[in-house]
Each structure stands twice: as C-alpha cells, then as structure tokens.
Structure 1
Amino acid sequence: MLFTEDFLQYVWKFRLFDLKALITTDGETIEILSPGLQNTHAGPDFHDAKVRIGNTLWVGNAEVHISSSEWKKHGHQTDNAYHNVILHVVYKHDEEVYHPNGSPIPTLELHNRIPPELYQRYHHLIFGEQQIIPCEKAIGSIDGLILQNWLTRVLVERLQNRSIALNQALAANRGDWEETFYQVLAANFGFKVNALPFELLAKSLPQNILAKHKNNPMQIEALIFGQAGFLTDDLQDDYPNTLKTEYRFLQKKYKLQPIEKHLWKFLRLRPLNFPTIRLAQFAALVSRSNHLFSKVLDTREPEALYKLFSEVTVNPYWDNHYQFDKPSVPVAKTLGKSSVNILLLNTLCLILFAYGNHHQQERYINRSLKLLELIPVEKNRIIDNFALLGVKVKTAYESQALLELKNSYCDHKKCLQCGVGIKILKLA
C-alpha cells in the first residue's frame, strides 16, 4: 500500500479499521474506548486517548506511525513530550519501542485491518489524475448541508488568514482602527493595478489631516491629488490650478511630501479605471463620510453599507474629463456595481470580521458574513470550475469559501483535513 501517515491518523481518529479481537503486538487484548483528540502541533498525535489493555484502563497520549521503527527515527525516545504515550499505533510492527524506564510501549498493528475499499478511495483522491480538484467526481453528490457547513468553516479560516496583514497594519498604527481602515480602503481603491500607490498615498496623508477639512471638499481633493503627485505639472484648466493653489498652502502647513507620480499606472486600463478617476471617487467618499469607520460600525443593515459607497458623486469637472486638461465625452463617473462589490468584499467584510474577532464581538463577525451573502459571486476560472462540478455558487459567501478551499486544501491535497474529503472517504 502507498499512503502517508495522515491517512493512518485518519483511520485511527475515526476508527475505520476492523475492531474485532484487537490485540497488542505482545498478545494482550485491547479495547479502544476513545482515540483521543488529534493534536495539530508538536508532540504526540493524539491527546487524552482512552484504551483498556488487558484488565487495565489507560488514559494518555497515542502516537501514530507507518512503522514502529519510526519512533527512533523521529527521536521520540529522548523527547519528554512522548514519555506518557500509552499506545503506539502502527501499520507495520517492525521493532519494539520502550519507555525511558525500559518498559515496552504497547503497540497496535493495523496491517490487514484497513478495509481495501477505504484505501482505494483514498488512493484515488490523493494519487489520481484529476483535472480540477481531487474529489471532482464526487463533490457534486455531497449533501448540501454538509458542504455548506464546511464552506462556512473554510470561509472563517479565509477571513482569519486575511486578517493577519490587517492586524499588522493596526499594530503599526498603534491600535488606531480609523487610520487602519482608511489605509486598507485606499489600497483597495487601487483595484490591484494601483493598490501600491494608493497605499503609499494614504500613509503619506494621515486620515486625521483630512478630518480637519471635512467641511471643505475642495481642500480634501487638493490634499489627495497633491499627495498623489498630480499637481506638480503646469496645468491649464481652472479646476486643477485651484487644487494646486490649495495644495501648496496645505503642503507647507502640514509639511507634506507627495509620492512620485510615475508610480500610477494608466496603461491597459479602461478610462473609467484611470487612477485620476479613482482618486476623485476616493476624495468624494472621504468628503461625504467623516469618520467613515465609525459609520461602518454603526450601520447595521448591509444594504445601507452598499448605498454608502454607491452614491459617491465626484466633482463635476470629472464629468467630461478622465485626466487633467484633457476634455472627453461626458460620462458619469460614479462607482459601478462591480467596483462597489469589490470594495465591500475586500474592505468592509474584512474590517468588520477583524474588528469583531479582535474585540470578541460576534455581532460584527455576523454582520461581515451577512454582507458576504448580499454580494454577488465573483467571476473567475476557479468558481466556474466548481460550477461545472455541480457546486451551486450564488453569492460571495460561497465563492470566497471555495477559493480558500481550492487554494488551501485542494491544491495541497489535504483531503484528510477537509470536511468534504472526510465525508467521501467514509461513504459506504
């Protein structure tokens, strides 16, 4: 048989082996009362296992290996963490192992006790030649409730993983959630292509400076376009020149240093996605929403959060411009539905989850998950492939979970740690 230690741990954890007439390698009868709790950290594989060997009840740790000789190969005989192992579970017993006091460690050999059909299902998952995911032929038949419960767990894992970078930014901002939210929002306004210059802009222009000019949209626009480096050139139109004049005064007042203009990317972008338009939209959002993070926390209905972003109105100058001094055909420059959805997904859902998790307040976590249920599913190859396999995907709640499932489990063939994989292996 070809398998990994993970498979043997799975077999032991769920007792998927022949339990009749169990005996240890030295001939004593053994009864498995509890396989214990699996340990995913350093130390024995299972804690608090409970077994009866002969007439004695034992409670302690269990260690799982493919062969007994791996005990010494892994150096367990000199590791204090393994001194209270009460049972050594192996596929093949090829060597006696002992406690430090010289007494042999009871060993259970599972050779010839694992059902062939269970191994075949495992082998097909891990070593098969699937095109999309290991369980592509079976996932469509998994009970919807089982799949949904697992996707919820995986979605939470995704949000927890994505919160790590946010928590690092929070630490750098000395626990200031307003400033952290402002920086994350700014980076996401760059929509990947211009995420870096937007992030640098936000860090060069603290949110508390903008808050001082909350009643003067023109000054907020001047600060944002000035710090972005777009007010250093000779300009012709009245609007950018007014911004330039305002910025020169504010720059000296706050001792500001703009970022380099060349960092902004225009190439291969649709005009509506030009950084100048995104900066105008960002300025409009900041102008109409002082203390935006507090407003997000206070807004209980997800629909209201969508409205907060969708009703952003830029300065009229941009109605017939995509760049300074370059007139264009009049086109509304409001944030489109897809852009709003991306901002809600990558900013609001994440910040609400991270804030709720940080302060252990379930209402914000639940609000984050509810918002994900209102955001339409993203369109990408991974989600399209899951749909082809019969997995129903309606909202970002499912699609975000499936992205995490694919990237963290399927791609690494962690079927034995996946609720879907476990269910498939346990099918009769």
Structure 2
Amino acid sequence: MKEDFLHYVWHFKKFKFTQLHTFQNHELSILHTGYYLKQSGPDFFNAQLLIDNQKWAGNVEIHLKSSDWYVHHHETDSNYDNVILHVVWEHDVEIYRKDATVIPVLELKHYVDQSVVENYNQLVAAKSWINCENQLKNLPEFTLSHWIERLYIERLEQKTSELELVLLKTTTNWEHVFYISLARSFGLNTNGVSFQELLLSIPFSVLKKEQHDLLALEALFFGRVGLLENHFEDNYYQDLKSKWHFLVHKYQLQSTSIVAPEFFKHRPDNFPTIRLAQLAQLLHRESNLLQRCLDTTSLSAFYTLFNIQVSDYWKTHYTFDHKSTFKSKSLSKGFVDLLLLNCVLPIKFSYSKSKGIQNIEELLALALEIKSEKNSIIEKFQQFGLASSSSLHSQALLHLKSKYCNQNKCLQCEIGKNLINFTSPK
C-alpha cells in the first residue's frame, strides 16, 4: 500500500465516516476533509472536524504508519504545528505537539471496506503493460466516454502550454507562432526540432515580406538549415544559392546554429527537402493561413485548404542534383490529419482561449471526424479491449498512457477510481 491510496480514501471519503472514533477513543465527525494542495507541508489544509463536539480547524497529515511522522522529521518542522488530525493506516506510536499534548489519530484500516483495499491491490499488482490491462473491458461506457473526452482536452491544454512558451519568444505574434508550430509538424518526430528552429531563426517581418516570392521562401528555408553549402551545377540550386546570399545581405541575417535535418531512415516523400518545399508552397499560396484555419470548421474544407503540391523542380527531385520520376508530391490526407492534430487544432484551441472564446465543441467534433492514429500504443490498448475509433480517442489514449499509466497515477485516473470502487465481474 502507498500513501497516495490513503490520500484518495481520505479526500473522496471512501470509508465509513459515521460513528468515527480516534485511536484515543474520542468521537470524531468530519465537516470538511480539507484542500489537497499537493505542496510542501501537511497533506490537507483547512480541514474542519468535531472531536467530542468541539470544533477544530486546521491541517491533516496522512501516513501509512504514525511513526512516519518522525521518519520525515515533522517534529522539527513548524509547517506541521497546526495539524489537528493524524490519519494513518496503522497507529504504532503516539505523536505529540510541542506543548506535549497528543495529536489525535484516525486509524483508517478499521473504517475502509475490504473490497476497496482488494480492488486497489489488484489494480497495482504487477502487470505486463499497464495496471488496469485485465479490467479495461469491464469499464462502464459512460465512465469511459467522459474520461476520454477529458483526456483529449487535457492534451490540448498541454499543447497550449507549449505554444505559450513559443508565444513569449515571438513577442506575442500568433501568426508567427502558428508558422513555427506548422513547421515543427511538417518536420515530424525526426526533423521537428530542426524545422522549428528554422522558423524561429527567421524574423517574422522577413517571412511576410518575402512570402509572395516562392523562390525566396525556398532559399530562406534551405539556406537556413545548411542545404545550400554544396557546389552542384544544377541551375535551380544555383538560383537558390544566389537568392539566399542576396537575402542574407539584404536583411543582415545573422548566422545561427540549427540542428541539421535528417534524411536517414525516411521514405523519400518524407525527406526534409520535400517537406520544406511543401511548407514553402503552402505559406506562399496562403498569405493569411492562420485566419483561414481559424475560420475553417469542417474536415473536408481543411483537406481543400492543405491541397498543395511542390514547385516544379521538386516534382522530379527528392534531393538536389539527382533527377527522379515525376510525382506531384501533394500532401496526403493522412499527413494533413497529422498537421491538424499536432498544430491546427491546438492553435485554434489556444488562440480562442486567449480571446475568451469557447470552441471546444467544434474541436471535439473535428477530432471525432479524423481517423484514429495507428501505432503500437493504440494497438496495445485495443488488445486489452479499449479500441480507438477516431483521433479524439487515439490522442486521449496516448495522453492516458504517458501522463497516467506510465506514472502509475491510477488514483488520479477515472478508470482507476472506477476499478477501485467497484468489484469487476469474475
């Protein structure tokens, strides 16, 4: 057993809280369990109790054993001077205040239903993948659907925090933040950091001034990530190189260190050259892309908005100076789905939140319409009876795995709480 289980039991009153008595045999009534602030000091602040009909207001500390008070050196910490109740699973030693009076103790093991303890022990027992893997198929549909939606919103909120950090670096320019986030999404996992640094390193005013000139945008992108440092005789390459040096001189662009983009282990359609060419084409064609995305509300309209191809050179090339079979290299619907999940929907959520606008229903509807992602985590959940039918579900499950399952936060998870409270069918 762990202390977080006792925190859960106390916080949600998962015990017989009538006819309570302290270990010292005083009648105890709980008016308010206190506020669980999860910070230094006692576990619950500003609790209210009746002990033998005398009202007490103060803090509650929780331990597995009373002696843990001394193990944690609370007797020397003034933050614990206002503890009015010591809640423990097992009382093994008296704890005294500085004035030598005994701190009242509630020994929880006498008041917690054994089924709750058994469910908890069953949940946290060693499993092959996650704690609740053998019980997922028994979850009530209402509990699951509500929690999945909440997890997806949590994932959006997490991405909002990340976008706000970028916003601070761009003097609160939402359009620049959008370009940076879009670039990271175009780079996928391997080149996302490199592409993000690229867009951060180019002054936004320069991007806007040169957005009408596709060759200039391509020169800025390829030059900034170090792809124009060779000596190919290719005419297009030479034009790019010349334009890059002109723009460096024109805008006095400072040299900067950017992570070099990776080609290794990528399919040719995901080569950084192709993704940068597609990004340049998109920004060139849509001068007001952020507003277009904010105004667009249907998946089909987004597919139309992102229906772009590369410039002519890249239709017959994957790398400089090596010709290949003609291919338009337009964005696939699957790739557009990734752009929507990783960039557009978080931006719509973050921007609207900053303006005090509620748009969560629109975002949930879009996420439900986008196909579920396919990866090893989603497949594993499906093996244990939790299938994903849309990107809302897959995004929620990814968040569940990384933020709850991997960190053993079963007692903060609605699935874990449900499984502890109710005995699963045999």
TM-score normalised by the chain length of structure 1: 0.89
Alignment partner, residue 284 of structure 2: 287
Work out the CA distance in 2 between the residues paired with 1:259 and 1:96: 64
Alignment partner, residue 200 of structure 1: 197
Work out the CA distance in 2 between the residues paired with 1:268 and 1:27: 70
- Is 1:67–1:90's contact at 8 Å kept on the other side of the alignment? yes
Q: Specify the SS of the correspondent of 1:272.
A: helix
Quick check: 1:327 aligned with 2:357? Answer: no
Moved more, 392-401 or 151-160: 151-160
Would the alpha carbon gap of residues 96 and 356 (structure 1) be closer, same or farther in structure 2, given more than 3 Å must change? farther
- The equivalent position to 1:23 in structure 2, one of 21, 34, 41, is 21
- Is 2:186–2:275's contact at 8 Å kept on the other side of the alignment? yes
Q: Specify the SS of the correspondent of 2:55.
A: strand
- Is 2:372–2:391's contact at 8 Å kept on the other side of the alignment? yes
Work out the CA distance in 2 between the residues paired with 1:332 and 1:162: 32
Q: Which runs of 5+ in 1 are unaligned?
A: none
- The equivalent position to 1:179 in structure 2, one of 170, 176, 180, is 176
Alignment partner, residue 10 of structure 2: 12
Work out the CA distance in 2 between the residues paired with 1:90 and 1:166: 43
Work out the CA distance in 1 between the residues paired with 2:389 and 2:32: 40
Work out the CA distance in 1 between the residues paired with 2:258 and 2:153: 38
Work out the CA distance in 2 between the residues paired with 1:317 and 1:29: 84
Would the alpha carbon gap of residues 113 and 326 (structure 1) be closer, same or farther in structure 2, given more than 3 Å must change? same
Please tell me the residue identity of whatever aligns with 1:199: Q
Would the alpha carbon gap of residues 283 and 26 (structure 1) be closer, same or farther in structure 2, given more than 3 Å must change? same
Please tell me the residue identity of whatever aligns with 1:289: E
Q: Specify the SS of the correspondent of 1:233.
A: coil
Q: Specify the SS of the correspondent of 1:104.
A: coil
Would the alpha carbon gap of residues 190 and 19 (structure 1) be closer, same or farther in structure 2, given more than 3 Å must change? closer
Moved more, 15-24 or 179-188: 15-24
- Is 1:17–1:114's contact at 8 Å kept on the other side of the alignment? yes
Moved more, 31-40 or 165-174: 31-40
Would the alpha carbon gap of residues 16 and 290 (structure 1) be closer, same or farther in structure 2, given more than 3 Å must change? same
Quick check: 1:87 aligned with 2:82? Answer: no
Quick check: 1:313 aligned with 2:303? Answer: no
Quick check: 1:415 aligned with 2:415? Answer: no
1:261 deviation in Å?
10
- Is 1:204–1:256's contact at 8 Å kept on the other side of the alignment? no
Identity %: 39
Alignment partner, residue 396 of structure 1: 391
- Is 1:184–1:199's contact at 8 Å kept on the other side of the alignment? yes
- Is 2:198–2:258's contact at 8 Å kept on the other side of the alignment? no
Work out the CA distance in 1 between the residues paired with 2:273 and 2:166: 26
Quick check: 1:98 aligned with 2:93? Answer: no
1:422 deviation in Å?
0.8
Q: Which runs of 5+ in 2 are unaligned?
A: none
Alignment partner, residue 72 of structure 1: 70
Please tell me the residue identity of whatever aligns with 2:406: D
Work out the CA distance in 1 between the residues paired with 2:134 and 2:62: 30
- The equivalent position to 1:378 in structure 2, one of 360, 366, 373, is 373
Alignment partner, residue 277 of structure 1: 274
Q: Specify the SS of the correspondent of 2:210.
A: coil
Moved more, 104-113 or 337-346: 104-113
Work out the CA distance in 2 between the residues paired with 1:337 and 1:325: 29
1:349 deviation in Å?
2.2
- The equivalent position to 2:142 in structure 1, one of 145, 155, 160, is 145
Please tell me the residue identity of whatever aligns with 2:65: S
Moved more, 11-20 or 82-91: 11-20
- Is 1:229–1:259's contact at 8 Å kept on the other side of the alignment? no
Task: Quote the RMSD (CA, aligned, Å).
Answer: 2.6
Alignment partner, residue 243 of structure 2: 246
Work out the CA distance in 2 between the residues paired with 1:92 and 1:390: 38
**Structure-to-structure mapping, 1:208-223, within 5 angstroms:** 208-223=205-220
1:23 deviation in Å?
1.5
Q: Specify the SS of the correspondent of 2:189.
A: coil
